[in-house]
Amino acid sequence: MRTHEAKRNVVVVGAGLAGLACARDLAAGGVPVQLLEAGDAVGGRVRSDRVHGCVIDRGFQVFNTSYPQVKARMDLRALRLSPFTPGVVTHTGDGRLRRLVDPGRRPREARDLLAAGVSPRDLAALGALSARDVFAPAALLRRSGRERTTGAALRRAGFSERFVEEFFRPFLAGVFLEDELETSSRVFHLVWRSMLRGTLCLPADGIGAVPRQLADGLPPGAVRLETAVTALTDDGVLTEGHGELPAAAVVVATGPGVAGRLLPSLTPPPYRTVTTCYHLAPDLRGRGPDLVTDVARRFLNTCVLSEVSPGYAPAGLSLVATSVLGAAAPGTGKALLGPLAEVYGAQTSGWEEVAVRTVEEALPAMTAPWPLSRSTRLEPGRYVCGDHRATGSVQGALASGARAAREVLADLAR
Ligand SMILES: Cc1cc2nc3c(=O)[nH]c(=O)nc-3n(C[C@H](O)[C@H](O)[C@H](O)COP(=O)(O)OP(=O)(O)OC[C@H]3O[C@@H](n4cnc5c(N)ncnc54)[C@H](O)[C@@H]3O)c2cc1C
């Protein structure tokens, strides 16, 4: 029995969302699985820390309820989700705040868009784009049309340059972590669809509650924390401090940089870097759970997290997350206080910087042509999954992990 099990035992390296989904599906398929994680907890890029009574996610991120993998796998009620305001607030060049609501969700506020200076032409283009993306089957969006840059797709959709500069460019810079609008148009349409169909929200205990819930569904003992894999061997994997572990198949779900080192035949795509600065403010209650972008692009976006989910800050205080592109220089948090004073209409000089989180490999650069899902089979008995094999998102990572499990199970059954 033991020999039989060793022959079928699968090692998954990395307990981010891709590794967790893969391990869950392998276990459900009756395969003994070991999930080896270098860090001291599961989650990878989707983790939260407690700092000075605040919930600090490892980089500002949002949870989208419409992702098919999320709907299929997660107990949303147990996450105790709280929503952002649907739509976005843009901090314009002249220092005003312009609210762009989702007219599909708040039709009564649609006329406010015209009052806010959105031209009828842009409103019509927005309606046509959104109707197509929200109602067309996802499979059609994946295949249809020529793949181009997001910028080219927006021009073809009839938007004015002004609307692109004031709305799409700042907003999408925060979504794709690039401000050239060079992300694949197919990725853009799928993300746009998911935003219109779902609710953007945060779990009460931080984004890290998502991977914890996935890990809770694994067989006892399946996850081994603080077990970094240093090499793949003929018989399995070599770990730091725990020797060699045998495996019939190895799935590398580590994220791109380590995957490229463990699997020299793999060429991972370039990645985007982002930094989030977290400030504690005396009290911004009543500002609302808005996502604010900046036309001048001094920051990607800012949000009072405790307005979305009160538990993010200690009682009587507010937690503000503000992100910038790249690995921010020291002093960035302080430099942001000026723009934040304009956005929030508050005296910011006393705000306390509680944390800064830079994520170097935050999202793959999904420039066209971007294959939306790649096989995870790399070499006999060796597989690779993660957002770099699908799309840079919760959906992409989970779907890639699921695909790896399907491919491993099919190969083991041969
Ligand atoms: C700041 C930020 C904001 C984001 N915002 C959103 C958003 O709003 N919506 C959205 O859908 N997506 C968002 N994403 C993207 C999403 O979080 C990722 O696409 C997804 O989490 C990637 O998961 P993964 O499993 O592929 O990789 P990872 O999360 O990187 O997991 C890899 C795991 O492997 C482990 N590991 C590495 N090396 C080893 C080793 N040698 N041995 C063992 N283990 C190892 C790591 O510790 C890690 O746990 C965001 C990402 C970031 C960083």
Rounded Cα gap, residues 108 and 104, in angstroms:
9
Q: How many CB atoms lie within 10 A of CB 368?
A: 18
For range 75-79, the mean pLDDT: 98
What is the 3 state secondary structure string of 14-27? Answer: CCCHHHHHHHHHHH
Q: Domain map of the chain by residue range?
A: 2-46+208-269+375-412, 48-83+201-206+271-364, 100-198
The string of pLDDT tens digits covering residues 246-304 is 999 999 999 999 999 999 999 999 999 999 999 999 989 999 999 999 999 999 999 99
Counting atoms of ligand 1 from 1, which one is nearest the CA of 391? 19
Mutate to test the pocket of ligand 1, among 373, 393, 395 (most ligand atoms within 8 A of CB): 393
3-state secondary structure of 223: strand
Rounded Cα gap, residues 97 and 91, in angstroms:
5
- Cα of 353 to ligand 1 centre, how many Å? 25
2-46+208-269+375-412 and 48-83+201-206+271-364 agree in CATH topology: no
Residue 324 pLDDT greater than 60, yes or no = yes
Residues with CB under 6 A from ligand 1: 13-19, 36-39, 44-46, 59, 61-62, 64, 228-229, 253-255, 258, 274, 359, 362-363, 386-387, 392-394, 396-397
Residue 52 pLDDT greater than 90, yes or no = yes
7 pLDDT band (50/70/90 cuts)?
Answer: low
For range 320-340, the mean pLDDT: 95
Closest Cα to atom 49 of ligand 1:
44
pLDDT on residue 6: 54
Residue 3 pLDDT greater than 50, yes or no = no
Tokens of 221: 């003992």
Closest Cα to atom 3 of ligand 1:
61
Residue 1 pLDDT greater than 50, yes or no = no
* CA dihedral sign, ordered 380, 247, 242, 217: positive
Counting atoms of ligand 1 from 1, which one is nearest the CA of 274? 1
Mutate to test the pocket of ligand 1, among 45, 261, 275, 300 (most ligand atoms within 8 A of CB): 45
- Cα of 397 to ligand 1 centre, how many Å? 8
Tokens of 329: 């220089």
**Domain 48-83+201-206+271-364, what fold?**
Polyamine Oxidase; Chain A, domain 2 (3.90.660)
- Cα of 280 to ligand 1 centre, how many Å? 26
214, 165, 169, 191: which is closest to 67 by C-alpha?
A: 191
Closest Cα to atom 15 of ligand 1:
393
- Cα of 86 to ligand 1 centre, how many Å? 25
Rounded Cα gap, residues 292 and 311, in angstroms:
21
Q: Which CATH number fits domain 2-46+208-269+375-412: 3.50.50.60, 1.10.3720.10, 3.30.465.10, 1.10.1200.10?
A: 3.50.50.60
Strand partners, 91: 97, 294
89 pLDDT band (50/70/90 cuts)?
Answer: very high
112 burial type by CB count under 10 A (0-12 exposed, 13-18 middle, 19+ buried)? middle
The string of pLDDT tens digits covering residues 177-230 is 999 999 999 999 999 999 999 999 999 999 999 999 999 999 999 999 999 999
Closest Cα to atom 53 of ligand 1:
362
- Cα of 331 to ligand 1 centre, how many Å? 26
